[in-house]
């Protein structure tokens, strides 16, 4: 029997893009990332500057998202604008966010708002940030103030974006501020950020009982270089546990497992403190045992030879484009959380300036998400990283994640083919044969199951 050439997504599925304040707004001079830029850490020598000018005009880009028939948009709020000095609130900053959220709603784009996406005010960084447990209350105070001000315009909150990346890059690898290399501190930071999430969860719940509240983690695949090598498998598992699962387990149960519990206090009131799981997925790495790399948990990571790759950056090597990884991660998240909450893909994207791999990559990742849904995993939305090319942290303006291309000097926006394709998918709430034919016929095998994957239909 001929297979139907359509993958229909469930009714009410959220389709949109994701971004963050520092990467888009411009003029954020009062946070630790700005200071990091001034200290010359950005590898291209650039800085966020006026970014993509969302502080003046995010609305023109929201208009482009509306034209793509998205029904959601994820952005973040800049704590250093809302509370520029400890205990002092800037009502004009909140008014600007009110205007943005109002505009999104007018365009039928459901706002999904992140309260912490890598940046903190300078005053908070200088008090030790999340390394100190007693600073958690300062974050919760900011959250409380902000929710009171904006709760009539948003009911979908991501408290903290990727505590595992924040801690690993900032405190193990040292490539993000504050540039430290201290495994124990990294764990303390992760622990305190999850505790900050939990306390924020209860604070938001009190102020907005019907709100949806969660946090998101960055998940990466770590596969052994040689499956037959016990050492490669061991170090791959170690990296996988450290980066992906230790923190999720602790957030789920309140307890760290051995050996992490020897160092870290449990997380109070953690169980149940979320309404959804946010999954950010980009890539996989291969891992080979290397005794010279204790800070990397004895695993040398590399990109599989012959892999289809993202454009490399100077800092992060975004590595392999590996669609099946998103399916494997969804299965693992589901297993680790016993399927207790809906899942949203809060980020997935590709650095591809020429847009010659992105259309296929989007189709194949979506097909894998569809496969997970057809097997009963409750994925409720997909937010692509990102709408427009934006400031990519240590890589400056060097790598391009946007569906829409930015000419950095003129600020002109030019939609890439991926943008029209994504628009067609959102409009249809489906991947159709015609879409695949038009944008990436080479994806047909994976999408419609003539390759190694058999797609089932999902109830709509």
Q: Given the rule CB under 6 A, which residues bind ligand BGC? A: 20, 161-162, 165, 218, 280, 316, 347, 385, 392, 401
The three-class DSSP label of residue 287 is strand
User: Nearest to ligand BGC by Cβ — which residue?
Assistant: 218
Q: Which is nearer to ligand BGC, 334 or 385 (CB)?
A: 385
CA atoms of 259 and 141, how far apart (whole Å): 32
Q: Which is nearer to ligand BGC, 224 or 313 (CB)?
A: 313
Q: Which is nearer to ligand BGC, 382 or 385 (CB)?
A: 385
DSSP structure string for 83-139: SSBTTB--HHHHHHHHHHHHHHHHTT-EEEEES-SS--BHHHHHTTGGGSGGGHHHH
Distances (CA, A) of 13 to 10, 337, 345, 427: 6, 21, 11, 11
The answer to whether 378 touches 342, Cβ cutoff 8 Å, is yes
Phi-psi region of 457 (alpha: psi -120 to 50; beta: other; left: phi over 0): beta
Instruction: State the minimum distance, in angstroms, from the CB of residue 87 to ligand BGC.
Output: 28
Q: Which is nearer to ligand BGC, 219 or 448 (CB)?
A: 219
Q: Which is nearer to ligand BGC, 348 or 455 (CB)?
A: 348
Instruction: State the minimum distance, in angstroms, from the CB of residue 20 to ligand BGC.
Output: 5
Q: Which is nearer to ligand BGC, 9 or 242 (CB)?
A: 242
Instruction: State the minimum distance, in angstroms, from the CB of residue 391 to ligand BGC.
Output: 8
Instruction: State the minimum distance, in angstroms, from the CB of residue 75 to ligand BGC.
Output: 12
Instruction: State the minimum distance, in angstroms, from the CB of residue 226 to ligand BGC.
Output: 28
Instruction: State the minimum distance, in angstroms, from the CB of residue 21 to ligand BGC.
Output: 10
CA atoms of 243 and 89, how far apart (whole Å): 35
CA atoms of 391 and 122, how far apart (whole Å): 19
417: its two tokens: 């083919």
Q: Which helix (H) or strand (E) holds 220?
A: strand 212-224
Closest CA to 165 of 325, 3, 393: 393
CA atoms of 291 and 415, how far apart (whole Å): 47
Determine how many CB atoms are found less than 10 A away from the CB of residue 21.
Answer: 25
Instruction: State the minimum distance, in angstroms, from the CB of residue 218 to ligand BGC.
Output: 5
Q: Which is nearer to ligand BGC, 165 or 286 (CB)?
A: 165
49 exposed, middle or buried (CB, 10 Å; 0-12, 13-18, 19+)? middle
Q: Which is nearer to ligand BGC, 70 or 316 (CB)?
A: 316
Distances (CA, A) of 329 to 97, 158, 441, 449: 33, 20, 26, 20
Instruction: State the minimum distance, in angstroms, from the CB of residue 35 to ligand BGC.
Output: 18
């Amino acid at each position: 029997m001929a297979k139907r050439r359509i993958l229909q997504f469930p009714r009410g599925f959220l389709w949109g893009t994701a971004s963050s304040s520092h990467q888009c707004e411009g003029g954020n001079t009062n946070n630790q990332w700005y200071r990091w830029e001034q200290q010359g850490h950005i590898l291209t020598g650039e800085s966020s500057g006026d970014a993509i000018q969302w502080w003046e005009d995010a609305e023109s880009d929201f208009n482009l998202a509306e034209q793509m028939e998205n029904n959601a948009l994820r952005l973040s709020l800049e704590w250093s604008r809302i509370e520029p000095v400890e205990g002092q609130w800037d009502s004009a900053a909140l008014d600007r966010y009110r205007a943005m959220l109002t505009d999104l709603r007018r365009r039928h784009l459901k706002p999904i708002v992140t309260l912490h996406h890598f940046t903190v005010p300078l005053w908070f960084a200088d008090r030790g940030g999340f390394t100190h447990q007693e600073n958690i209350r300062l974050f919760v105070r900011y959250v409380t103030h902000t929710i009171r001000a904006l709760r009539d315009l948003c009911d979908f909150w991501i408290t903290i974006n990727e505590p595992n990346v924040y801690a690993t890059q900032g405190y193990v690898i040292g490539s993000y501020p504050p540039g430290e290399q201290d495994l124990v501190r990294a764990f303390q930071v992760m622990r305190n950020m999850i505790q900050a999430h939990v306390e924020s969860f209860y604070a938001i719940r009190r102020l907005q009982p019907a709100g949806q509240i969660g946090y998101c983690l960055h998940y990466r695949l770590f596969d052994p270089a040689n499956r037959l090598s016990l050492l490669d498998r061991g170090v791959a598992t170690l990296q996988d546990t450290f980066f992906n699962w230790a923190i999720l387990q602790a957030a789920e149960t309140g307890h760290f497992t051995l050996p992490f519990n020897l160092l870290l206090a449990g997380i109070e009131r953690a169980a149940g403190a979320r309404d959804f799981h946010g999954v950010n997925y980009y890539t996989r790495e291969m891992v080979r045992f290397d005794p010279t790399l204790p800070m990397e948990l004895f695993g040398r990571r590399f990109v599989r030879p012959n892999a289809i790759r993202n454009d490399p950056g100077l800092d992060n090597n975004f590595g392999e484009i590996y669609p099946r990884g998103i399916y494997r991660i969804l299965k693992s998240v589901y297993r680790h959380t016993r399927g207790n909450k809906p899942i949203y893909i809060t980020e997935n994207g590709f650095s591809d300036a020429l847009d010659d791999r992105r259309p296929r990559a989007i189709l194949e990742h979506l097909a894998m998400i569809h496969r997970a849904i057809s097997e009963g995993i409750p994925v409720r939305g997909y937010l692509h990283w990102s709408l427009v090319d934006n400031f990519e942290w240590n890589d400056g303006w060097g790598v391009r994640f946007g569906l829409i291309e930015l000419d950095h000097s003129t600020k002109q926006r030019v939609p890439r083919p991926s943008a029209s394709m994504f628009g067609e998918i959102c409009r249809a709430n489906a991947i159709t044969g015609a879409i695949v034919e038009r944008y990436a016929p080479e994806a047909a095998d994976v999408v419609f199951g003539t390759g190694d994957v058999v797609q089932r239909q999902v109830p709509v």
